[in-house]
Structure 1
Amino acid sequence: MKKILVTGADGFIGSHLTETLVRNGYEVKAFVYYNSFNSWGWLDHCDKEVAGKFEVFSGDVRDPNGVRTAMKGMDGVLHLAALIGIPFSYHSPDTYIDTNIKGTLNVLQAARDLNIQKIIHTSTSEVYGTAQFVPITEEHPVKGQSPYSASKIGADQLAYSFFASFKQPVIVVRPFNTYGPRQSARAIIPTIITQLLAGKKKIKLGSLHPTRDFNYVGDTVRGFIKALESKVGFGEVFNIGNGFEISMGDTAKAIADLIGVDVEIEGDEVRFRPEKSEVERLWASNQKAKEILNWEPEYKGLPGFKSGLEKTINWFKDENNLKSYKADIYNV
């Protein structure tokens, strides 16, 4: 497989994945969300040695004709396009059903009709809900604690159904909490970094006690590529996680230490999830990915997390990058 379509290529993980695929010698078509500004999202800011070396297709995954047109002639599809903000899903759930479920259906149907060799479908650790046991294996029950996670559970099940019903060559990659340069401001790590770099001594956050399993974006990208290049694992789900947990409060302290400032955290009511919607604990088992995909994180454990944070902070310190973020408002 050499010709690869990446949906959601204009986003955080998708842009890093597109760049890495190009560097690895793939012919890449980047499916970006159509807009009248002709913006390609983060691909407008890609590394110079990659710029101009991939094709761009502007469209909308909710449109089956556009998806089919983009997929013609492709060998494989890495499907990342999705709505991902959890707070936005509370008041606009319809858009999540249309984008995450219907969009995935469009990709699967086109892939079946066009005999695409492999589809890598993107899941999320949010589908597990609050951990019932740790570390979380792929056999852990799924529980939709937000409209977003419910839509991703539906998309995941659609992907598996096409494997079971039509022998569609599908692999589901389930990233845990990816972080790094270009991450959107709705996520916890950019929220902390941008407020601190803006000179704030008291930063606003939501719940501090929930834990997450943070995975540096370079490791997540390698997980996708390992799945793409694997000759086994069809119909399977693979956790792409670091294998350790850290609380939101300790994450904020680690970032403040790396920046070299003292931090006082103020609870902001608007940032709290509804009580039963909060995912209290996430901690990945990545054993299956190690054994079958030969993948494991390079930024391991707390030392690796701090190393990845340092890279992320340095990226945000560039004024050209920081000016794209609005540290003074809550980004839904």
Structure 2
Amino acid sequence: MNLKGKNILVTGADGFIGSHLVEYLISKEANVTAFCLYNSFNSAGWLDLIPKETKEKIKFNFGDIRDAEIVSQSVQSIDIIFHLAALISVPYSFTSPRSFIKTNVLGLLNVLEAAKRESVKKIICVSTSEIYGNAQHLPITEDHPKIPQSPYAASKIGADALAYSYAKSFDLPIIIARPFNTYGPRQSLRAIIPTVISQYINGEQVLKLGDTKPKRDFVYVEDTVKGLINCCSDGLPYGHDFNICSNEAISINDLAYKIGDLFGKRIDIAFDTDRLRPLKSEIQHLVGDHKKLYDYTRWKPIISMDEGLKRTIEWMKSDWDNRPYRNNTHHV
């Protein structure tokens, strides 16, 4: 899709995936408005670390996705919306579920209402593989039952249902993109890959991890961004969802040892009960099927896990002691 000159709004632009998406859109000469969470530090999150010449091309709107007025202002004259703003921490959702409903469901409602008034041409709503719960068949296709095993997953199922309803009720041009486990530079330390890498960098004698048996489908952030862009392609049916995944899975145990091999050593794993989810909340096996998106757009991930991990390790090791947010386990 030709993005040059398109007016594009990215909500959650200050986060992990959002910041990479903004950089990509700027490289394609799009006119990007970055909707970032307002804070007293005037920080644009990870966008503060991108090259100055790129940042100068971005229009910044600071606010809260739960505020209908600021969202409405941000959507004016916009052609395409990528909606990534969300609370995403599964553990935090156990203690603050109301916040997840307000941000993930009511926040999306504000975006959809504004998009409806402004006749936005395309709306990409970013979902999560967590909505599938424990797999009833593998690989997981888009028609898999939605089984919420955490308040976070429940909030995203609610958001997806809202998006479906607006596509059907108001003929809004909505696509639901569903990334599986994205990883790469800028990811929060609470995610499993940066958790393991940071412990190697810090020279820990044992790796403190939770349950290492679950298997996950990992996609490098550059591939995820291109998957999101492909969801803007002409010909995709509105009101449909599309998995962004690798069609492969690796256990947390094997992942930890793979990272160790890239460091040239292996550290024994120590079981840390503080890192466990509630028993019935843990999802044991997530491996997706990206055939639907491939059939429509020919998208598939091209960066191998070894290559993606090497890039992530290199980024995390560079100037580690001065890395902003390196101790911030809640930054998305």
TM-score range, shorter chain: over 0.9
| Structure 1 unmatched runs, 5+ | none
Measure, in 2, the Cα distance between the counterparts of 1:202 and 1:256: 11
2:172 to 150, 165, 168: 168
Q: Where do residues 154-303 of structure 1 align in structure 2 (5 Å cutoff)?
A: 154-299=158-303
Secondary structure at 1:107 match in 2: helix
1:9 aligns with 2:9: no
Specify every segment of 5 or more residues in structure 2 that has no aligned partner in the other structure, as ranges: none
CA distance in 2, matches of 1:244, 1:104: 30
Q: Provide the rounded CA distance (Å) in 2 between the counterparts of 1:201 and 1:230.
A: 52
1:230 CA displacement: 3.0
- Give the number of equivalent residue pairs: 327
1:201, 1:262 within 8 Å by CA — same for their partners in 2? no
Contact 1:230 / 1:293 at 8 angstroms: preserved in 2?
A: no
Distance in 1 separating the partners of 2:206 and 2:82: 40
Output the amino acid matched with 1:148: Y
Q: 2:315 corresponds to which letter in structure 1?
A: W
Q: Relative to 1, partners in 2 of residues 1:60 and 1:8: Cα closer, same or farther, differing over 3 Å?
A: same
Query: Cα 1:331–1:9, aligned 2, differ >3 Å: closer, same or farther?
Result: closer
* 1:228 CA displacement: 1.8
- The alignment's C-alpha RMSD in Å is 1.6
Query: Corresponding residue for 1:75?
Result: 79
Per the alignment, in what secondary structure is the counterpart of residue 269 of structure 2? strand
User: Which residue number in structure 1 is paired with residue 319 of structure 2?
Assistant: 319
Counterpart residue number, 1:307: 307
Structure 2 CA distance, aligned partners of 1:265 and 1:292?
42
Q: Distance in 1 between matches of 2:300 and 2:72?
A: 34
The answer (yes or no) to whether the contact 2:235–2:296 under 8 Å persists in 1 is: no
User: Whole-Å Cα distance in 2 between the matches of residues 245 and 324 of structure 1?
Assistant: 29
Alignment-derived partner of residue 63 in structure 1: 67
1:292: how far off? Answer: 1.0
The correspondence for 2:30, drawn from 26, 32, 41, is 26
Q: Check whether the contact 1:79–1:122 (CA below 8 A) recurs between aligned residues.
A: yes
Provide the identity percentage: 49
> What is the deviation of 1:324?
2.9
Q: 1:200-233 deviations in whole A, cap 9, x for unaligned?
A: 1201111000000000000000011111233322
Is 1:142 aligned to residue 143 of structure 2?
no
Which amino acid is the alignment partner of residue 153 of structure 2?
Answer: S
Secondary structure of 1:50's aligned partner: helix
- 1:117-140 Cα shifts (integer Å, max 9, x gaps): 110000000000011110000010
Name the CA distance, whole Å, in 2 between partners of 1:331 and 1:116: 29
The one-letter code of the counterpart of 1:311 is R
Q: What amino acid sits opposite 1:159 in the alignment?
A: A
Query: Which residue, 95, 98, 102 being the options, matches 2:102?
Result: 98
